């Protein structure tokens, strides 16, 4: 006698297959979205550095007093990178992490720093930040680049600078060096012994 329909075992098997495929699809989508955000973040940081470098070299900022709201200024002038938005007077939000910008008039310098989080994507984002800023090593206004760890400064350029015992010339570093530096800072951040922030310093 021919049975109609499917048995319970067969139905459970089909559901199990659908479940596995769904999990794989969700994981793949999440990975693709994170890659998209990372690429977008890279574009935003690169555009932001381009805006700052050109503005500073043109003496647009001149010598501003401490407390100048740079983020607000860029937002008001519609100079923000595509997809980056104004968060508060000195903070912009990229596709991944907030970026703080402020001027210390008494030092005549502009600071920009990216505040990473505890997700492992921050390591890749940190490496990307190093690779991007290395493209600006010939900018005369660029002074120093560093992670928030003691005794590790990465000079943005070596012209007129001597890389000392604790200082590394950014121009001499490669992607592997960037990864090692970022991973070490990430591990220390997870252990609570350091902040995980990427700093860039411009002379005005």
Give the total number of structural domains in the chain: 1
Note whether 134 and 173 are within 8 A (CB). Answer: yes
CA 20, CA 3: separation in Å to the nearest integer?
Answer: 28
Question: Is 140 a member of any domain?
Answer: yes
Question: Is 2 a member of any domain?
Answer: no
Question: Is 89 a member of any domain?
Answer: yes
Residue 27: the pLDDT is 58
pLDDT tens for residues 73-122? 888 888 889 999 999 888 999 988 999 988 876 777 888 889 999 888 99
Per-residue pLDDT of the chain (204 residues; tens, 9 = 90+): 455 556 776 677 667 677 666 666 565 667 788 888 889 999 999 999 888 877 765 555 544 555 568 888 888 888 889 999 999 888 999 988 999 988 876 777 888 889 999 888 999 999 999 999 888 877 667 788 888 876 677 876 555 555 665 677 888 889 999 999 999 999 999 998 888 999 988 877
Domain that holds residue 140: 8-203
Question: Is 1 a member of any domain?
Answer: no
Dihedrals phi, psi of 180, to nearest 5 degrees: -60, -45
Question: Is 3 a member of any domain?
Answer: no
Residue 86 makes CB contacts below 8 A (sequence gap 6+) with 71, 72, 74, 75, 80, 92, 93
């Amino acid at each position: 006698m021919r049975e109609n329909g499917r048995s319970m075992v067969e139905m459970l098997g089909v559901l199990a297959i659908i479940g596995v495929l769904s999990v794989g699809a969700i994981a793949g989508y999440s990975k693709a979205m994170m890659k998209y955000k990372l690429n977008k973040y890279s574009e935003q940081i690169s555009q932001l550095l381009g805006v700052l470098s050109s503005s500073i070299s043109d003496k647009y900022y001149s010598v501003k007093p401490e407390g100048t709201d740079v983020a607000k200024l860029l937002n008001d002038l519609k100079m923000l990178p595509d997809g980056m938005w104004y968060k508060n007077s000195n903070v912009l939000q990229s596709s991944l992490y907030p970026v703080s910008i402020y001027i210390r008039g008494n030092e005549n310098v502009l600071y920009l720093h990216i505040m990473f989080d505890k997700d492992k994507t921050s390591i890749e984002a940190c490496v990307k930040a190093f690779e991007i800023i290395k493209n600006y090593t010939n900018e005369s206004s660029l002074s120093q680049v560093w992670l928030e760890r003691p005794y590790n400064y990465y000079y943005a350029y070596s012209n007129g600078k001597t890389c000392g015992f604790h200082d590394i010339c950014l121009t001499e570093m490669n992607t592997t060096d960037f990864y090692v530096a970022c991973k070490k800072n990430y591990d220390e951040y997870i252990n609570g012994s350091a902040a995980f922030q990427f700093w860039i310093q411009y002379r005005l």
